Chain A
Amino acid sequence: MNTVLRVIMLRIGQALATAAVLASLCFVFVHALPGDLALRVAAARVGDERVTPETADRIRREEGLDRPLIVQYGQWMGNLAQGDLGRSLLSGKPVKQELAYHASFTLQLGLIGWLLSYLIALPLGIMAGFRPGGVVDRITDALAVTLASLPSFLVGIGLITLFALTLRWLPPAGFRTGAHMVLPAFTLALSLVAFSIPVIRNAVVEVRSAFFMTYARVKGLTPAAAFRHHGVRNAAIPVVTYAALQFAFVIDGFVVIETLFNYPGLGELLVKALIARDVPVIMGAGLVIGFAFAVVSLLADLTRLWLDPRGLEEARA
């Protein structure tokens, strides 16, 4: 099973490289910004009006900002390697604590939205794939193109206008009850559905037109049995690959959606940190998102290897 091992190593390497690039990028940004870094940190800690040259100097000494850049870079990466992400400049809380709190919200929203999207897309995509050119196919195609042309915040605004402002069925923003989850989750799901319906539909169409499906029937299988034995697995390969790829889209989606709905997830944390230039939090959120991306890609790779023996055997040969 050394192929599996190699896939895992590749993804771990990719995650590490991503982390290193991200951390270096943050370091460069922090030091390349115009103005005195110590002053900025001081301003963030005690507020703009109360910053004095003395507090700036104290922070410069405490944080080691007077040392050569290369030493600071080494320290920066070293801390990171030990899992020390520092404290938020804004709240003063450890970054890890902040991340853990917000990540659980995002995970919840992401998972529910993602599952919801496949709950919608799978039946529609399969129905469309069974009758290409039919009514369902044309309707879902129009739906997918429309949704694909709508940024997620527009979908969200539309849902808020309809369900929260006009019908008053659901709360427009917040996170305290289950009802608060409905609109953000649906917004995320609809953004994902736009791309997964065509992928599922095409996978089904392609497998159904594959000659081995016809031949399975010549061999005596009923159409249903042929699809069960030969169709499902082959159609699942591109769908699974794509479902994981969609995590990249989830990230665009949840940053925007969380901000729109005031939902306290990682995306909202990241945007607030970006606006406040809270570097430790930005880097921490970036690392968690990048790492999650690598993990999902790895899971997708492994699932595909399990579904499609070609990958394994080709790599072995």
Chain B
Amino acid sequence: MSLVLEPVRARSLPPSVWPLAALAGLALTGPFLAPQDPNAQDLMRVMEAPSIAHLLGTDHVGRDILSRVLAGAPHSLGLAVLCVALASSVGVALGLIAANSGALVRALIMRLADLMLAFPGLLLALLFAGFLGGGIWPMLIGLKLALWPQYARMAEAVATSVLREGHVEAARLAGFPELTILKRHVLPSVLRAVMPLATLGVGQAIMSISALGFLGLGLKPPTPEWGAMINELLPFLAEGFVQMAAPCLMIFVSVLTLTLAGQALASNSTGRAQ
């Protein structure tokens, strides 16, 4: 008779984990890897082509592009992660509360989510960023307000269906407290459903943050955020193709990694459900 817990099976990690880890590493260490001061101007060497001194060339005020791209990683990637982490935790919490509450509270939360979803895409973030003058917080608040409803909806839908399942009733009949049921029965399913959405969401957030930066409504210059860099370099597109390509590629590769990982997670969790 072996009631002993099985050893935790070393689950093979999906291959999409490694690029994700590389991205996280970049976001954490980017500024320390920068070979030069990302904000050091050198007006004698503007829009220079790549050379040994400046591997990716210089921008319109002579700053080193490679250093700026690296130093920009925590802004572009880190903020996106923070934003999605905030939005998804608020959304999941509200969704769980809605699923566990009476009709009134549920209706209140879910109608609020509907209302927020009636605002198209970037509009809220644009308004916040525009009025409050750019910077980190207006952007975070704006994006968070726009993003939480999808997590709340998904959490509410999954939690409501799990709460109707036999094992929840069995646990109630066995006398388990509601909090234990929430933790052991409901939360794992909710998180499994939310994870792919959040992974894709980080990619979307990177795009939104860079779009705000590109519009001149995101982080304030001279912060080396990728979208803002593209905005600054745009007038010099004809002269500095490599310089422009660097932040563009960074955005593309980051979002692509997250999109692929999100899709892998999504097909993984639906595959397991069958």
Q: Which residues of A contact B (CB under 8 A)?
A: 14-15, 17-18, 21-22, 25-26, 29-30, 33, 145-146, 148-154, 157-158, 160-161, 165, 247-249, 251-252, 255-256, 259-260, 270-271, 273-275, 277, 282, 286, 289-290, 293-294, 297
Q: Is B123 within 8 A of A149, CB to CB?
A: no
- The interface size of chain B toward A, counting residues with CB under 8 Å, comes to 38
Inter-chain CB contacts under 8 Å: number: 124
Q: Is A251 within 8 A of B211, CB to CB?
A: no
Residues of chain B within 8 A of A248, CB atoms compared? 120-121
Q: Is B121 within 8 A of A277, CB to CB?
A: no
Residues of chain B within 8 A of A145, CB atoms compared? 256, 259-260, 263
Query: Roughly how many angstroms separate A145 CA and B203 CA in the complex, as a whole number?
Result: 12
User: B53 near A: Cβ within 8 Å?
Assistant: no
Within 8 A of A (CB), among B146-182: none
Query: Roughly how many angstroms separate A274 CA and B122 CA in the complex, as a whole number?
Result: 13
User: B81 near A: Cβ within 8 Å?
Assistant: no
Taken residue by residue from 197 to 233, chain B's Cβ proximity to chain A (1 for < 8 Å, 0 otherwise) reads as 0000001000110110011110000000001001000
User: B130 near A: Cβ within 8 Å?
Assistant: yes
Q: Is B259 within 8 A of A29, CB to CB?
A: no
Residues of chain B within 8 A of A294, CB atoms compared? 118
Among residues of B, the one whose C-beta sits closest to the C-beta of A148 is: B259
User: B129 near A: Cβ within 8 Å?
Assistant: yes
Q: Is A282 within 8 A of B127, CB to CB?
A: yes
User: B33 near A: Cβ within 8 Å?
Assistant: no
Q: Is B260 within 8 A of A251, CB to CB?
A: no
Query: Roughly how many angstroms separate A237 CA and B255 CA in the complex, as a whole number?
Result: 29
A-B contact pairs, 28 of them (CB 8 A): A17-B118, A21-B115, A25-B127, A149-B203, A151-B210, A151-B214, A151-B255, A153-B210, A153-B227, A153-B230, A157-B230, A161-B237, A161-B241, A161-B244, A252-B121, A255-B211, A255-B215, A259-B215, A270-B126, A271-B126, A274-B131, A277-B130, A282-B130, A286-B123, A286-B127, A290-B118, A290-B123, A293-B118
Query: Roughly how many angstroms separate A149 CA and B202 CA in the complex, as a whole number?
Result: 11
| A149 CB contact (under 8 Å) in B129, B215, B227, B252 | B252
Among residues of B, the one whose C-beta sits closest to the C-beta of A271 is: B215
Residues of chain B within 8 A of A18, CB atoms compared? 115, 118-119
Q: Shortest CB–CB separation between residue A205 and chain B, in angstroms? A: 14
Residues of chain B within 8 A of A148, CB atoms compared? 255, 259
Among residues of A, the one whose C-beta sits closest to the C-beta of B263 is: A145
Within 8 A of A (CB), among B96-148: 114-115, 118-123, 126-127, 129-132
Among residues of B, the one whose C-beta sits closest to the C-beta of A152 is: B211
Among residues of B, the one whose C-beta sits closest to the C-beta of A146 is: B256
Residues of chain B within 8 A of A273, CB atoms compared? 130
Query: Roughly how many angstroms separate A251 CA and B118 CA in the complex, as a whole number?
Result: 12
Residues of chain A within 8 A of B121, CB atoms compared? 248-249, 251-252
18 further A-B contacts with Cβ under 8 Å, apart from A251-B123, A252-B122, A277-B130, are A17-B115, A21-B119, A22-B119, A151-B214, A151-B227, A151-B251, A157-B230, A157-B244, A251-B121, A252-B120, A256-B214, A260-B214, A271-B217, A275-B217, A282-B127, A286-B123, A286-B127, A293-B120
